[in-house]
Structure 1
Amino acid sequence: MKVLSIAFNTFRENLRDKLLYNLLIFALLMIGSSLILMRLTLGEFHRLILDIGLGSINFFGVLIAIFVGIGLVSKEIEKKTIYTIISKPVARFQFLLGKYVGLSLTLLINTAIMACGLLAVLYMQDVPIHAVLFKALIMIVVEFMVITAVALLFSTFSSATFSAIFTLALYVIGHLTPDLKAFGEKMGGLGKTILEGMYYVLPNLDRFNLKGHVTHQLDVPTGDLLVIGAYGLAYTAFLLTLASVIFQRRDFR
């Protein structure tokens, strides 16, 4: 109940964040802009709409996860409200989990709104909607969960600015992990060991990218989807556990 209470309060706080609405509006405008851009292209406009739509949902969702996520803990510290919170009969891991669940709920609702915008554009342009589109949207939400956990982890021991930089850097690297492994195999020696280590330790965010499957109408087997989803949830659990350990040991006096 304590976790749910914190999650609900976090959700309400997020709804008052102007940044959230600004990013959501920009995302919907980007999705809508595909209607204009498709008039400038010759053929393949179905793929253009899907590419821009899914790209916008992913990009602006990640921005929300990062810039709202880094403030989950840092704002409480800056406002000195963290002292009031930790003095209450609430375990620190419950506080972090509640914050995480609150932002995850916010991201889920925002993703649903952006997805509805994309579906409306697809419907107006008579673009066929396949099941793989919804699978891609589910994987986008799982990726948001991982990124939110990363932002929360960094916010437990770093300032808001550095947390944003670290999270954004990890997001970029996370989408390049397959390239790191391939590059390491070409290098050999110590370089190969280091890059392969990074490949297995860092989150492989490229696994969640099904945009190519959607634009080319390639279905993803349910079994593969479950494996990818389980990987995302397991990595999220690992990050939240690590964040709880760090936050538990932090001295706020």
Structure 2
Amino acid sequence: MSYLFLKGCTELLSCRKLSKNFHDYLSSLFTRTVYRISRKYYKLKNTSDLVGDFLQDFYEKLYKLCELVLKNTNQIKSIDAYVNQSIANFLKMKFESFVKEKEKILSLDEKVDKSGKGDDEFIEIIGYEYEEDTFSKVIAEDVFEFFLKECEKKKTDMKRYICSFISQEISNEDRFSNPNWSDANKYKIRERTKKFIRDFAEKFSVEEKVMGLVLKKFMSEICKKMNLNS
């Protein structure tokens, strides 16, 4: 399977054209993954009509994906695992939007600890120095885009909340909070932000290592820009 993907990517980058064989391969892979995810997470039965639409959206990311894979082929332990995980993450995001629009979203059996216990253990992933292996880094690139979209769905200034929260966790100082926030508001914002990050990781099945890389990327790209403009 990895041979087909690598061959298709090579042709795509050299000819700037998607071959029929590569399209058929991706279509088959998408069909199986859509079937599995739709039933495991969303309990949807008839999803065959969605495969084509989701696949077309995925093609927008395919060129960059191929570049990353071909550049790091020798460092990725399993091309098949990487491709499957990238497609699974992409489809989870697409299904989340789909079910909300159709008002058919069902419980994902998210086990949220209402007492708040365990939050600090989870948030320690921000400061932990993970080895940035190629596989986790590439997955984090995809998850980062999903994370930004989830932030933008919030009516609150979630990006600033996250920057404020991460800066406190890493350096014990807050360069992003609004001077008008009272101590009570700061506490509520902190708790709301922790829940947002935790819920995102659980909803999209993001492992701690990848989530840590996502938050570090958020700090270096989003927060740094915000700090310069403030």
TM-score (norm 1): 0.30
- Which structure has more relative contact order (CA 8 Å, sep 6+)? It is 1
Q: Which has a greater percent of helix?
A: 1
TM-score (norm 2): 0.32
